[in-house]
Structures are given as structure tokens and as C-alpha cells.
Amino acid sequence: MSEVLRHGVPMPLEWEAPSGWLGRLSLAQGCRVVEVKHFLGLAARGVRDVDSAFVGDIASVVRYRCGLPPTAFRRVEVALQSMDVQWLRHAGWPRFRYCPLCLSERQTPYFDIYWRFLHFGVCLVHGCDLQLRCPGCQGQISAPSDVFKSAAGRAGCASQNHCQRCSWDLARAPAMPSRHGLPLAEDLEARLLEPQAPVPKEPSARARNRVKVPDSWPWLTER
């Protein structure tokens, strides 16, 4: 890889989870996710869960090294700064839920960052319950990673709407109407981005320690 990626970098989509975007980036570069993490300096910082660490300097480093505009991931970054990173984990593990309707409607299927939040069990667009398991194999959904090594990739399905374990099309899962009703899409901004939101306003100390970029890396800072 070159020092700064200039070609084949997909633009992050609205509310796209950084972990899912890394999967798309590695596919575009024709390499494994671990290679992308090494290139971006994430592996050197011991970052295993990209979503929980994607704030502050790490987000700036990713934007710089991938040639992304300053606006890339800004909404996701602010949302993550407003949440306790432990809310991203299900029973201690990084898991995703998903909305089959969102996956079916998107030209490029991707996973929203709020699909990882424990406190968001309803799709904020369609009002259906977010689903945790694949109907095909009943496995839980983890962050999209090396698609070409997964069962979906071996079956010729490179998009993220396919289960990595069994290649089942998650967009075909039946949508389950939520008893909580249909929230508006703007509710996500109101809950995550407004100062009055009833959530922690500072990232945890653990997150702050994990994302500090050493002063010896001045060439990595965003220009």
C-alpha cells in the first residue's frame, strides 16, 4: 500500500459503522482487513474494536491516510463521543443487529453504527425491530470483515447484506413491526447529537486512552 491511499477508497455512507466501512475498503484494495488496520496504525495502537475507538485522533488519521474529506464520519464520530462505548457490546461481545428493509433498499448495503447500540432496538427509518440473528443459520451478526474469506464471499456474494457464515441474504429476512411504533429518522440526531440528550457526553477513559496518537506521528495528523 502507498503511504496515503488515493484510489479505490469508498466514501463512507450516512451513519455507516467504521468497522463495516473497513470491510468495504479492504475489499476495494484487494487485501485483508488486518492489512488495512496496519496501514492505518490501528493495529499498532491495539485497536480491536474499531467502532468503539473511532473518535478523536484515530478518526483524523483515517481521514488523512485515506484521502477522505473532513466531513467523512463526522456524524458517526460525534455520536460515538456521546455514548459510553460499553453500549456497543452485547454480553461483552461486539455484535450488530440489522434492518432487512434498510439492507434491501440500499444500492450499496451497509451497517449503521446505531445498529450496534444496545439502546436502539428499533429501525429509526422503518419502525421495525432490529434483528440479531441470521434466519438461515441462526448465527449472531458480527462486524463485516474479510468478505472474500467468508462463506458469502466464496459463494460470490461480496455485498454486506449476506451472512458471512452461510451467505443467506439478510435483506430477505421478514421485517418484524415494533411495538414501540415508528420513530422518525430525525430522532437519531436528537438523541445522539443534541447536548440535552440523556446519554454520557464524554467517552470513557478507556476509549480516550486507546485513541491517543503519539506525538512521534506528526506526519499522520490531518492537514
In a 3-state reduction of DSSP, which class is residue 197?
Answer: coil
Return per-residue pLDDT of the chain as tens, 223 residues. Answer: 556 676 689 999 989 999 999 989 988 888 888 888 999 988 888 888 888 888 778 899 899 999 999 999 988 888 787 766 656 655 556 678 899 999 999 999 999 988 888 777 888 888 888 998 999 999 988 777 666 665 555 555 667 888 888 889 999 999 988 765 554 445 555 655 554 443 333 333 433 333 333 333 232 223 2
Torsion angle (degrees, nearest 10) of CA 45, 48, 53, 59: 70
Give per-residue pLDDT as tens, 55-74: 778 899 899 999 999 999 98
What does pTM read for this prediction? 0.75
Residues 12, 20 contacting (CB under 8 angstroms): no
**CA–CA separation, 32 vs 156, rounded Å?**
17
Q: pLDDT tens digits for 12-55?
A: 998 999 999 998 998 888 888 888 899 998 888 888 888 888 87
